[in-house]
Chains A and B, each alone.
Chain A
Amino acid sequence: MMAEIRKAKGIMDWLDQRLATETLTKVLMTEYWIPKNINFLWAMGVILTTMFGILFISGLFLLMYYKPDTKLAFDSVNYTIMQEVYYGWLWRHMHAVAASVVFLVIYIHMFVAIYYGSYKKGREMIWISGMLLFVLFSAAGFSGYMLPWGQMSYWAAQVITNLFGAIPFIGPDLVVWIRGNFFVSDPTLTRFFMLHVLLFPIIIIAAIVFHFYSLRIPHVNNQEGEHFDFDEEAEKYKAGKKKESKVIPFWPVFLSKDLFVVGVFLIFYFYLVGFNYEFAMDPINFEPANYMKTPTHIYPEWYFLWSYEVLRGFFFPIAGLKPFTLGLLGFAIANIVFFILPWLDRSPVVAPAHKRGAFNIWFWLMLIDMIGLAVYGKVPPNGVYVLGGTDITPWFGFTFTVGFFILLFIALPMITIRERKRAGGAK
């Protein structure tokens, strides 16, 4: 039936008659119900949205002056943008620091979800779309890092594109195809520029929209993992019983706390932008790319270190497999294992980790293991710890690598099967 258009009672009514703005506002904001029993960790999502916004907008201004050509890229960034363009240095610092800090917040967001069990019992698509966002942000980060065309840009691209050569049969040809040349060079730069500036941002925006949508039916989780009737609680709130209701509206109550957390976060972020940015703008990348000179130390950005260590953690053959093969397999598995977390966790219990006994221990061990992997992904793999003449350095990374697989594929299923049995029944 066509809309009945009457004389508008004001501009909001005029818009509502044509766009259903009132209904939209209720659905997305004032009557989108979030549990009240939450803490500031629930603000990580809005922080991530803010970070993405900062990356996008600072990216627009960098894009105005950046030149995607191996002869021009480095100077377009380090001379034009950093020394000439008004506030160019600010956008570049903001973009680089945001690209690094966004992963800190992604990991916190991920581990909060693991802690509170927010990846199961109906919330699997939220978790999977979130992991997809992690992969997309990783790809965006990797492609973006190539653009300044410094020594680290070049050699990270060389090493990572080289990995594809290990795929049987098509490997070596695939590497040349990806690079557009036998070696990382101008065609490689320009295609990764396309990916970074257009394709990945569009897919990321679509994935974010989907991620937000996937929250609606299962609803946001709460600190106790309590399952309750959102409609009932919403009615209480709308009837004025705000203090008894277990829910709050997304706007303005939930977002008001988020905005406060965002404020605190931005203070920390801008401190980094101005005074402590070398972790995000590695000095080695201020040397122009030189394909005939490998830097003494190559390492990926900190957020890739844990999986980089899995790649190089194996240093002797096991069960007939060469360490290189083990590393490659381990790396491939490590990067997708979190997708299947809802199924590695065999228990239906949704509760904070501190109420789940063995799972709590598992959680903190997992955290320590991943931090260990990250640190040893950066420490040189040889010659650092020598005990009585033997170089025991590679054993550190190896231990954390093996620990990672044991924790996820053995410990987690075992602990959660036991929990399921104690909770009395099937998923």
Chain B
Amino acid sequence: MRELKILGVLVVFTLLVYYGVEPYAHSKMHHHVEPANFQFNDLKAIDYKGDPAKGKQLIVNAGCTGCHGIKVAKIPAPMPADAAAASFGVAPPDLSNVGYLYDAKFLKHFILNPAHTFLNAKKFNAKKPFPMPGFYGVGGDKNKEVSDIVAYLKSIAPKEMEAKETFIAACGRCHGVKYDKVTQLGEMPKFKSDTEKLAYELKVSKYKEHLLKYLAATPPDLSIIVRAKSKEHLETFIDNPQKLLKGTSMPRVGLTKESTEKVISYLESVGDSKKVERESLIPKIIGFLIIFTLFAYLWKSKLWREVH
């Protein structure tokens, strides 16, 4: 009847406005970018099998433990995180989990040539070198040696990691998550006094100053990033930051698909913690409104029958 026709016109024009202003306009703002494939296609395969036992020796003899701790192998970090940041700009990560977190091919290339694999080599030069030096090796085939090291790292890595652990290990040295009380120095401890709290905050602040000098930009806090960027955007960005933010100081860290999913799921749990509640409550409200509308219709029909 007439009113349905009118409703039809309303719906058509509303959808026209919506389409033009949302999907269409947004498609003109963002150039299409190939989504992440986690394959690191720019890196050639290094097909040696790798001997973990040899890798275990290499990791000490090639000098890695001069900067990196390996907790599971009972090798402590040579310097505490904040002191390391003062020297290098950022704290060198512990190597216990890297075998789980990162792609093996990526790791091999990274050890050989860190800044180049990170994709931010342009930011470093002779006067401001990348804090991790390229691989000098111990005199043999470098490709074979890094394969051994990576095989060792894979052998000591956990089989599974929690989402939050994954985030802190892979991203936490640069990005804080204040809504979950996570700073660049790790999870905030419980403070016994205001002075203790201030002392901790001072340490974090100094660490961030070193980071700023190292990266020429402050890595943003990621507490609410899942509401600011879509999941696809985050995946593509983590897989290759240069694709979406050319010239950025953020390195391509080499996360596997699984680790990336874990990182994003942690960020979702912090930034959109009410998602489950929202998606269960709203249908219930809509259900109530359907009943409401039904009764409204019945009441309205009765009254209007008397006047038509």
Contacts and interface: CB of A to CB of B under 8 A. Distances in A.
Touch between chains A and B, by CB atoms below 8 Å:
yes
Interface in B263-296: 270, 273-274, 277-279, 281-283, 285-286, 289-290, 292-293, 296
A51 B14 CA distance: 18
Residue from B24, B228, B279, B299 whose CB has the most chain A CB atoms within 10 Å: B228
A250 interface: no
B228 A260 contact: no
A270 B289 contact: yes
A282 to B, nearest CB: 9
Given A263-B289, A283-B227, 9 more contacts: A40-B3, A248-B307, A263-B293, A266-B293, A267-B286, A274-B286, A375-B17, A378-B25, A379-B28
A257 interface: yes
Interface string B9-47: 010011011101110110011000000000000000000
A89 B299 CA distance: 34
A378 B23 CA distance: 11
Interface in B45-98: none
Most central of B21, B179, B289 by chain A CB within 10 Å: B21
A138 interface: no
A367 B17 CA distance: 11
Interface of B: 2-3, 6-7, 10, 13-14, 16-18, 20-22, 24-25, 28-29, 178-179, 220, 223-225, 227-230, 270, 273-274, 277-279, 281-283, 285-286, 289-290, 292-293, 296-297, 299-300, 303-304, 306-308
A378 B304 contact: no
Interface residues of A, number: 53
A20 interface: no
A263 B16 CA distance: 24
Given A82-B274, A83-B274, A271-B286, A260 B24 contact: no
- A-side interface mostly: helix
Contacts of B225: 286
A367 B274 contact: no
Contacts, number: 130
B6 A260 contact: no
A79 to B, nearest CB: 5
Interface string A264-278: 101100110111001
Nearest to A78: B224
A409 to B, nearest CB: 24
Interface of A: 36, 39-41, 75, 78-79, 82-83, 89-90, 93, 104, 108, 242-243, 245, 248, 252-253, 256-257, 259-260, 262-264, 266-267, 270-271, 273-275, 278-279, 281, 283-284, 286-287, 296-297, 302, 305, 367, 371, 374-375, 378-380, 384
Contacts of B292: 263, 266
B278 A89 contact: yes
> How would you classify the secondary structure of chain B's contact residues: helix, strand, loop or mixed?
helix
A41 B6 contact: yes
Nearest to A269: B289
B308 A379 contact: no
16 contacts: A36-B307, A79-B179, A89-B278, A256-B303, A259-B300, A260-B297, A263-B293, A271-B286, A274-B281, A275-B282, A279-B21, A279-B22, A297-B29, A305-B21, A371-B17, A378-B21
* 5 nearest A-B pairs in the assembled complex, by CB-CB distance: A274-B282, A263-B293, A375-B20, A378-B25, A286-B228
